[in-house]
A = this chain, B = another copy of it.
Amino acid sequence: MSRVLTSRSENYSEWYNDLILKGGLADYSAVRGCMVIKPYGYGLWEGMRDALDKMFKDTGHQNAYFPLFVPKSLFEAEEKNAEGFAKECAVVTHYRLKTDPVNKGKLIVDPEAKLEEELVVRPTSEAIIWNTYKNWIQSYRDLPLLINQWANVVRWEMRTRLFLRTAEFLWQEGHTAHATKDEAVAETKQMLDVYARFAEEWMAMPVIRGVKSANERFAGAEDTYTIEAMMQDGKALQAGTSHFLGQNFAKAFEVTFADKNNTLEYVWATSWGVSTRLIGALVMAHSDDEGLVLPPRLAPVQVVIVPIYKGPDSKEAIDSRATALMLELQASGIRVKFDNDDTARPGWKFAEHELKGVPVRIALGLRDIENGVAEVARRDTKEKASMPLEGLAGKIQTMLVEIQQNIYNKALAFREAHTYKVDTWEEFMRRLDETPGFILAHWDGSPETEEEIKELSKATIRCIPLDAPEEEGACIRSGKPSKRRVLFARAY
């Protein structure tokens, strides 16, 4: 397969697909809308999962595992949640196949193995989990219950895109239960903050923290908090959400607890999740026309050593010095690969590792070794420099930190350059079409106006930023009064 990518300016969407496929992150599968996550893409997910998992545990959460299937009667218990997901559910109706009496070697669904009650493949697990919490929660002593699950979920989307929107995806979903509203709201905000820190510190992806408008809330939530990131085409990507669920699920599943006065009260709930969609966000936030640009903290390989063999005599000396360097880097906690495949040329390898987004490449030839140096190239800036081999590990450590920071700064500068305060409808539409980005504009607060704006512009309210200052203004569409600007964008 050719490693040349469609360029971003040529066709951003094709560039993204090319990069996912040629970068070895994922592949299409035989199942409509489902993808195969290839080892390199899964390596990114493992890095994300491990970092998030530690953040969840450091904030007192434990992991558990709940069933893949939700009986239909439980699924429909919380009406808004059911309504929100009913249209995209994979439904199991039978539990057996049998030999096809007509076509030899083929199987058919056994009509006698029809389930009494259909099972929904979980699109999200509030229903099955709250039906379980009912048995686990009796008294205030059982609260808070702070549980997270790493799992696959299925939403039968009609239009799918690798990582960004797939019928099956991997995610984590936190589901917590609390004695008071205040505590549940604080948990919702805490987890939004965990997501924001993860996005910024690990993915090097700046995010806007905000709260969704009523129209854009999670089905069954009282409030949905979100982090929104900007992609390089100026579109927004919702990167994580944290929901305050009020007592909706407690009421639907009759989950009560005896408080200290022995009065029965309904339990307060939150849920929060991020998914393999983050891999799509990571790719689109930083990568370029040569390939992936990965932040060092999540890169499966942080440094690659490429030997520059000149004839068979040089191989032994180079391999020996490169191996010593590899061990030195590993001892400094750096994830390093020595690419000693002698059937491929250095130029081919350079392009390959650029495509894969390896943050630092070290090229090592015989002359370099004689001079006590190596050629070090950064993936983010494409700068190359000859650096002394002695003490190189320490310098590479510093460089990885710099790269992480530089990638973040670049994304932040891009976002700032593409964020506009807009006060008229004409400018709103012009910006969206000509200089896509985030638009801070006044909105009258009504769902009707929000819907009208969406229909006319295809832009949605991404969030009401948590740090939005109060400011008197007039709605860009209706002209009615507004108290603060909200964030609009077209979105993935």
Contact = CB atoms under 8 A, between A and B. Distances in A.
Nearest to A132: B36
Interface stretch (A115-123, A351-359, A375-383): A115-123
A488 interface: no
Contacts of A95: 88-91, 156
B65 A36 contact: yes
A135 interface: yes
Contacts of A136: 27
Given A89-B97, A107-B82, A156-B96, A30 B64 contact: no
A386 B72 CA distance: 57
Given A90-B92, A92-B91, A74 B38 contact: no
Contacts of A37: 64-65
A131 interface: yes
A31 interface: yes
Q: Give the most central of A74, A106, A119, A170: most B CB within 10 Å.
A: A119
A16 interface: no
B29 A65 contact: no
B30 A131 contact: yes
Given A63-B46, A97-B91, A135-B27, A106 B76 contact: yes
A39 B66 CA distance: 11
Contacts of A39: 62-64, 147
A159 interface: no
B91 A87 contact: no
Nearest to A100: B76
A272 to B, nearest CB: 17
A99 B36 CA distance: 33
A94 B93 contact: yes
A31 B72 contact: no
A480 interface: no
A64 B42 contact: yes
A128 B97 contact: no
Interface of A: 27, 29-31, 34-39, 42-43, 45-46, 62-72, 74-76, 79, 82, 86-99, 105-107, 109, 118-121, 128, 131-132, 135-136, 147, 151-152, 154, 156, 168, 170
Given A76-B107, A88-B95, 13 more contacts: A27-B135, A34-B68, A35-B67, A39-B62, A39-B147, A68-B154, A75-B97, A86-B96, A86-B99, A87-B98, A90-B92, A91-B94, A93-B93
